[in-house]
Chain A
Amino acid sequence: AQSVSQHNHHVILSEAASLELGCNYSYGGTVNLFWYVQYPGQHLQLLLKYFSGDPLVKGIKGFEAEFIKSKFSFNLRKPSVQWSDTAEYFCAVGGGADGLTFGKGTHLIIQP
């Protein structure tokens, strides 16, 4: 069975700080990896995705993630966060007919 582990459940940063959110997965098949974001009061939306090719993936709003196959990791990064990045972030893995398996989420708070 596939599983996703997000290391940090709550993260508090100041504006302009660098961000890295950890994500490790276990999955026996071809890996499709995702980061979703849920801003307060809004629906879940895709931040970025990895299917194949370049392991460094760029997404919206300056976010990027690196797929490291040997470490089963797909960490999310942003060099300089903004107050508007306050949200809940979910790592997910999947690619089959049964949708995605999500991690438990990381609640990120950016202090102005």
Chain B
Amino acid sequence: DGGITQSPKYLFRKEGQNVTLSCEQNLNHDAMYWYRQDPGQGLRLIYYSQIVNDFQKGDIAEGYSVSREKKESFPLTVTSAQKNPTAFYLCASSMFPNTGELFFGEGSRLTVL
């Protein structure tokens, strides 16, 4: 099945720890995105990448980092510098040139204890 796989689905971490969320796609899409979803706030863009080895900050990049070493993979690291990391994280991809239509994974829910 073609799609986007995010793991883990649920993750707990202690304050001060970094954690990495995985996102893999087999849609052969060039562009990949990370969004954060909070109740009542919609989706906010963290980072995006149009091509391998290149990525750009979104609206709320502080406290996060990404890498894009392979076309199909776009992991997100939530660092200890992120002040409010408990959230639902969504990975998405799209074809390039970008028409805007995004395909989403099922999300990863991070809870900081």
Using CB atoms and an 8 Å cutoff, list the residues of chain A in contact with chain B.
Answer: 4, 6, 9, 32, 34, 36, 42-46, 49, 51, 90, 92, 94-105
Contact = CB atoms under 8 A, between A and B. Distances in A.
26 contacts: A34-B100, A42-B106, A43-B104, A43-B106, A44-B102, A46-B102, A49-B101, A92-B100, A95-B98, A95-B100, A96-B98, A96-B100, A97-B48, A98-B45, A99-B33, A99-B48, A99-B94, A99-B102, A100-B100, A100-B102, A102-B35, A102-B42, A102-B43, A102-B44, A103-B42, A105-B40
B94 A90 contact: no
Interface class of chain A by DSSP = strand
A90 B101 contact: no
Interface class of chain B by DSSP = strand
Size range of the chain B interface in the assembly: 20 to 34
B102 to A, nearest CB: 6
Contacts of A34: 100-101
B16 interface: no
Interface string B54-78: 0010100000000000000000000
A86 B44 CA distance: 23
Contacts of B98: 94-97, 99
A103 B98 CA distance: 20
B99 A95 contact: yes
Contact of B50 (A32, A97, A102): A97
